């Protein structure tokens, strides 16, 4: 490889750390491009995109794309969602606090970045990881595992924490000046904030956002429920999208309701009627409800009564519900379920 201008490929989430890692290398005159992987679970304000917008709030945005825009770098957006299924369903290194397979996930992403490095002629790869910042993947004993299992040993630089790590190839070869790298560690983010101020980085998302839905307790519970009642740990892209929308209730093992919480969410859910049963009240405002599974006729009546409970007709003696499935329509008159008949355990 020609040593002309040194080119590095980074993993960019758009958060503060990965943005700073880019800036630290740019300060050394290194040409930087980044990659952002789409796993299907990424938090990109999806909930915000599905719900009615808050008055005056700007529309949600893709953090990595906007960081790349501000940094003036090329960003490769790569969809790994299909391959990622096996990482989520069967992680070699197990899960974190929820269904987040962080170590396997990092290994997989670094491995993909290494493939891109080879194909696109980058000199090395880098991440914004900081030692001790995350309990599962950013530890002294897990960094070498990531490097080894991804095949990146020596070629993965972590500019923000490099001074606490063994010297890497780009440093040995003089491509990167180690003296101008950092030795951050732990969960205290003050040093990163000071560096951000020094480098003029002011527009970054709050660190509380997290990487993905898999670290979210509620989301993980819904995914667990899906696996349990399907009897298999598989999922389709539609499944993981629907887990982000609506109120999920399972009154019996054979079926689940996804109940829209506002007009925008109703609209979103209406796009997923195929292969499911769709319920809504006739001529009364209220939720659009999707039913997944195989409810018995009695259970479908219960589903209608439950759906009516969340609509404007909840106090009426009777509500007419429209049931759509496989292109046919049926009308059922039901009594909305009284609040005290809704079991707490139905909420997924």
Among 72, 231, 297, 317, indicate the residue that binds another protein (CB under 8 A): 72
* d(C-alpha 261, C-alpha 283), whole Å: 17
Query: Which lies closer to another protein via its Cβ, residue 169 or residue 239?
Result: 239
Site string for another protein, 182-201 (x = CB under 8 A): ------------------xx
CA 299 to centroid of chain Cα atoms: 33
Q: Which does 200 bind (CB under 5 to 8 A by kind): ligand SF4, another protein, none?
A: another protein
Site for another protein in 101-160 (CB under 8 A): none
Q: Is 102 in the site for ligand SF4 (CB under 6 A)?
A: yes
* d(C-alpha 43, C-alpha 141), whole Å: 27
Q: Is 156 in the site for ligand SF4 (CB under 6 A)?
A: no
Q: Is 105 in the site for ligand SF4 (CB under 6 A)?
A: yes
Q: Which helix (H) or strand (E) holds 78?
A: strand 74-79
* d(C-alpha 344, C-alpha 341), whole Å: 9
Q: Is 281 in the site for another protein (CB under 8 A)?
A: no
Query: DSSP characters for 223-263?
Result: HHHHHHHHTSS---HHHHHHTTSSEEEEEETTEEEEE--SH
CA 49 to centroid of chain Cα atoms: 14
CA 237 to centroid of chain Cα atoms: 12
Beta bridge partners of 323: 279, 330
* d(C-alpha 117, C-alpha 347), whole Å: 46
Q: Is 101 in the site for ligand SF4 (CB under 6 A)?
A: yes
Among 41, 268, 305, 319, indicate the residue that binds another protein (CB under 8 A): 268
Q: Is 75 in the site for another protein (CB under 8 A)?
A: yes
Site string for another protein, 209-248 (x = CB under 8 A): --------------------------------x-------
Structure tokens at 202: 């002011």
Q: Is 128 in the site for ligand SF4 (CB under 6 A)?
A: no
Footprint of another protein (CB under 8 A)? 23, 26, 32-33, 36, 38, 42, 44-46, 49-50, 53, 58-62, 65-66, 68-75, 77, 79, 200-203, 241, 264, 267-268, 271
């Amino acid at each position: 490889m020609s040593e002309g201008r040194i080119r590095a490929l980074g993993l960019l989430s758009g958060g503060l750390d990965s943005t700073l890692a880019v800036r630290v290398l740019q300060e050394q005159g290194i040409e930087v491009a980044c990659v952002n992987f789409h796993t299907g679970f990424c938090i990109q304000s999806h909930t915000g995109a599905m719900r009615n917008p808050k008055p005056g709030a700007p529309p949600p945005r893709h953090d990595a794309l906007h960081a790349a825009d501000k940094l003036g770098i090329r960003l490769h957006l790569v969809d790994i969602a299909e391959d990622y299924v096996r990482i989520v369903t069967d992680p070699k290194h197990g899960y974190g606090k929820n269904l987040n397979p962080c170590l396997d996930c990092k290994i997989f992403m670094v491995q993909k970045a290494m493939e891109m490095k080879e194909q696109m002629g980058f000199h090395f790869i880098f991440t914004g990881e900081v030692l001790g910042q995350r309990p599962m993947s950013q530890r002294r004993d897990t960094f070498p595992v990531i490097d080894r299992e991804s095949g990146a040993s020596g070629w993965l630089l972590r500019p923000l924490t490099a001074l606490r790590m063994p010297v890497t190839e780009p440093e040995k070869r003089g491509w990167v000046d180690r003296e101008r790298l950092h030795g951050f560690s732990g969960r205290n983010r003050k040093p990163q904030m000071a560096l951000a101020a020094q480098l003029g980085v002011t527009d970054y998302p709050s660190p509380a956002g997290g990487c993905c839905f898999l670290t979210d307790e509620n989301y993980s519970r819904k995914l667990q429920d899906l696996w349990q009642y399907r009897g298999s740990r598989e999922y389709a892209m539609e499944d993981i999208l629907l887990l982000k929308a609506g109120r999920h209730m399972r009154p019996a093992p054979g079926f689940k309701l996804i109940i829209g919480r506002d007009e925008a969410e109703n609209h979103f859910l209406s796009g997923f009627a195929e292969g499911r049963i769709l319920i809504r009240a006739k001529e009364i405002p209220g939720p659009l409800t999707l039913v997944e599974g195989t409810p018995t006729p009695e259970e479908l009546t219960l589903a209608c009564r439950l759906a009516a409970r969340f609509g404007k007709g909840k106090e009426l003696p009777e509500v007419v519900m429209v049931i759509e499935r496989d292109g046919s329509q049926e009308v059922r008159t039901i009594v909305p379920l009284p609040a005290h008949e809704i079991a707490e355990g139905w909420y997924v």
